[in-house]
């Protein structure tokens, strides 16, 4: 019986009752022969026990190996981050394999009720966190709201500090950014108190949301202010040239750059462009192609614009596809130059 | 807005322990909804999701139950303030699920 036929049979069997150990090991063996960065697909559609899922996760993590790190801009004290971040809205079962491959930045850590068990035992200086404060975009001048959100989150999570305090959604206008400064003043006080270290933004724009300014307008203002250490912005395949150019300027200015919505706002276009996926050595994997597209976008001086990405990940297949896009080992296997 | 919320709730119903893709996708919309909540605690009853612009003047609390559910599922407080503001809007009864 061919491997595909066997997998289909096991898929059907797993829906009746958990696979016997012998059959599960057979699928693991087939998955292992699929190649680095492609193991999880063997388990697609199978109903696995929690223990079996953790074994699959270990296989996937072993294939991806440890992710490399890049320096997040020049304003964040030499912070070295993996090219993909954990987000607090990930499927909880994916935290362990993410930590296994060395992911060391947690986006929106400030929203957790308490730190997950997988993260609690880790030395605090082995990972970085951001907190997205919700005074922006609708109440950017509300000092108390921003300040209290951070202090409450520290009490609740038990963290001593957040590395980046990030203005969530950014500002609705350049005028609001320049003149409604309560959020930034809260950052200044929190920094003095040792509760946060750097200031950032996750800026929305009128590309896909309102009421926001255009990216060229608001990002240029943020660059010119000198106040922003870290930016998290939408970036994906097919974005306008002038948007990529202003992100390159921000990166050149030393701001740490994180790409978000790499699939949500470009995955459809990528899926319709097999030639582009082939150029990114990610045929049939639009998620991986989008990650590689973002991470390999270049400034005029040849350096990458983005040092890391945030990606919404809900299952192991997407984990392997997307995190595989940031894996040096998978890139080498695919013949793709990820970090020149 | 009610139709959107009902569709999102049904989608979240499909999530399992090993596959929370539906929750991720719903969160993408919920994040946008967070920004559209007014100072009155309510949301536009009709919304152009592509542009973010409200359509008409009617207001609704329809997203409240969804946002509460997302926080409970994720063990987070991301929507806690938005829910508190909506609850303070006051004039809804046990019909809100």
**Interface residue A318 vs chain B (CB under 8 A):** yes
pLDDT digits (tens, 9 = 90+) for A274-304: 999 999 999 999 999 999 999 999 999 999 9
pLDDT digits (tens, 9 = 90+) for A6-17: 888 888 889 888
Distance between A91 CA and the closest CA of chain B, angstroms: 6
Pick among 3.20.20.100, 3.40.50.10420, 3.40.605.10, 2.40.110.10: CATH of A66-334:
3.20.20.100
Alpha-carbon distance values, A57 to A206, A284, A318 (Å): 38, 22, 12
Which residue from B minimizes the CA distance to A93?
Answer: B18
CA angle (A26, A31, A32) in 5-degree steps? 95
**Interface residue B78 vs chain A (CB under 8 A):** yes
**Interface residue A214 vs chain B (CB under 8 A):** no
**Interface residue A138 vs chain B (CB under 8 A):** yes
CB nearest B76 (choices: A48, A88, A138): A88
User: What pLDDT score does B95 carry?
Assistant: 41
Residue A53 has pLDDT above 60, yes or no: yes
Specify whether the CB–CB gap between A334 and A281 falls below 8 A.
yes
User: What pLDDT score does B50 carry?
Assistant: 73
Q: How far apart are CA A194 and CA A187, in angstroms?
A: 10
ipTM strictly over 0.90?
Answer: no
Contact (CB<8Å) B18/A312: no
Residue B78 has pLDDT above 90, yes or no: yes
**Interface residue B19 vs chain A (CB under 8 A):** yes
Domain boundaries, chain A: 3-62, 66-334
CB contact set of A188 (below 8 Å; sequence gap of 6+): none
Measured between beta carbons, the chain B residues lying within 8 angstroms of A318 are 21
Burial A134-152 (b: 16+ CB within 10 A, else e): bbbbbbbbbbebbbebbee
Measured between beta carbons, the chain B residues lying within 8 angstroms of A169 are 35
| Mean pLDDT in residue range B79-93 | 84
Name the residue with tokens 């935290």: A95
Measured between beta carbons, the chain B residues lying within 8 angstroms of A114 are 75
CB nearest B18 (choices: A53, A114, A138): A53
**Interface residue B40 vs chain A (CB under 8 A):** no
User: What pLDDT score does B58 carry?
Assistant: 94
User: What pLDDT score does A1 carry?
Assistant: 64
Contact (CB<8Å) B51/A316: no
Measured between beta carbons, the chain A residues lying within 8 angstroms of B15 are 314
């Amino acid at each position: 019986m061919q491997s595909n036929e066997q997998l289909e049979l096991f898929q059907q069997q797993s829906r009746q009752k958990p696979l016997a150990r012998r059959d599960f090991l057979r699928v693991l063996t087939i998955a292992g022969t699929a190649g680095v960065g492609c193991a999880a697909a063997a388990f697609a559609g199978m109903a696995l026990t929690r223990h079996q899922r953790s074994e699959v996760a270990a296989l996937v993590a072993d294939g991806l190996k440890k992710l490399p790190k890049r320096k997040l801009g020049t304003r964040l004290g030499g912070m070295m981050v993996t090219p993909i971040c954990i987000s607090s809205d990930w499927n909880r079962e994916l935290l362990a394999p993410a930590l296994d491959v060395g992911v060391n930045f947690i986006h929106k850590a400030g929203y957790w009720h308490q730190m997950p068990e997988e993260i609690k035992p880790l030395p605090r200086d082995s990972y970085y966190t951001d907190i997205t404060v919700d005074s922006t975009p609708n109440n950017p001048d509300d000092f108390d709201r921003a300040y209290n959100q951070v202090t409450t989150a520290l009490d609740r999570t038990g963290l001593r500090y957040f590395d980046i305090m990030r203005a969530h959604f950014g500002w609705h206008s350049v005028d609001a950014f320049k003149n409604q400064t309560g959020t930034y003043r809260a950052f200044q006080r929190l920094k003095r108190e040792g509760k946060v270290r750097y200031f950032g933004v996750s800026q929305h724009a009128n590309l896909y949301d309102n009421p926001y300014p255009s990216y060229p307008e608001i990002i240029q203002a943020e660059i010119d202010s000198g106040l922003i250490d870290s930016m998290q912005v939408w970036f994906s395949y097919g974005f306008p040239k002038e948007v990529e150019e202003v992100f390159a300027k921000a990166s050149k200015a030393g701001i740490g750059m994180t790409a978000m919505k790499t699939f949500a706002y470009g995955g459809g276009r990528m899926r319709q462009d097999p030639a582009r996926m082939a150029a990114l050595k990610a045929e049939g994997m639009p998620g991986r192609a989008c990650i590689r597209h973002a991470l390999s976008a270049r400034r005029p001086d040849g350096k990458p614009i983005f040092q890391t990405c945030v990606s919404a990940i809900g299952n192991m297949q997407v984990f392997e596809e997307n995190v595989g896009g940031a894996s040096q080992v998978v890139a080498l296997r695919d013949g793709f130059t990820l970090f020149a | 807005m009610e139709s959107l919320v009902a569709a999102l709730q049904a989608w979240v119903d499909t999530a399992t322990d090993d596959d929370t893709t539906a929750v991720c996708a719903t969160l993408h919309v919920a994040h946008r909804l967070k920004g559209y909540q007014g100072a009155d605690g309510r949301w536009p009853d009709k919304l152009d999701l592509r542009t973010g612009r409200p359509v008409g003047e009617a207001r609704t609390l329809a997203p409240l139950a969804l946002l509460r559910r997302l926080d409970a599922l994720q063990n987070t407080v991301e929507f806690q303030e938005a829910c508190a503001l909506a609850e303070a809007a006051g004039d809804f009864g046990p019909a809100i699920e």
